Amino acid sequence: MERKRRGRAMNPVSIGGYIQTSFLDYPGSAAAVVFFRGCPFRCPFCHNPELVIPGMGGDSFEWRDILGDLERRKNFLDGVCITGGEPTIQEGLISFLGDLRSLGLKIKIDTNGARPGVLEHILDRNLADYAAMDIKASREKYPLASGWNGDLSLVEKSISLLLGSNIPFEFRTTLVPGIHGLEDAPGIGDMIRGAPLYVLQRFRPGNTLDPAFAETSSLPAWFAEAFRERVLPFAKEVRIRG
């Protein structure tokens, strides 16, 4: 698909990446992936700094081109994963999701939970079929893991919204050396108590927002398994992914 330069047309959403087909991002589905720009968090281990920090460059896509490509290929896809960055900061997100609904595609939304009002609107209007929310750390370590000094009650409100929703969803945490310890498991578990699915992901070195994490080794497999054992009492299912 042709990539468009910024400034050619006014976008209701700012799109910084597009994958036409993925079998990894939407559980059990062949899905396109749309990456939105911008995020209120500054997680030091983030692997998408070009989407988070304004002016870092990267690709740009016109929303009309994305929708056109999805319409042409909708018979070969099950759905679309909306991710970022943080999608809920986009003023045109609700309209964009409505356009996707008109194509008959399932929608998965990824979020950090910082804008529960937008998430509530999405759930109330049936604009998502699956949600994945990042739980960055225990309450005490949230500023360290997220680089954000906002009101944690916003994140907790988003957790509550998903726990009370009628759609499938997962909470997930990336386990990062220097940030997460086994002692954090009960605190995170208490935040997501009653979740149907909690996913643990091991941090991988690579391009990161904070260069100090670029070559940081992953936590060992035994750590992820031990963390899993400690959060099992709080969720119906706990998986280790990746």
pLDDT tens by residue, 21-33: 999 999 999 999 9
The CATH number of 15-171 is: 3.20.20.70
Residue 119 burial (C-beta neighbours within 10 Å; 0-12, 13-18, 19+): buried
Contact 33, 51 (CB under 8 A): no
pLDDT tens for each residue of 96-132: 999 999 999 999 999 999 999 999 999 999 999 999 9
171 pLDDT exceeds 90?
yes
pLDDT digits (tens, 9 = 90+) for 203-220: 999 999 999 999 999 999
Is this prediction's pTM over 0.95?
no
Rounded Cα distance, 196 and 198, in Å: 7
Q: What gap in Å lies between CA 173 and CA 23, rounded to an integer?
A: 20
Which run of H or E residues covers position 171?
A: strand 169-175
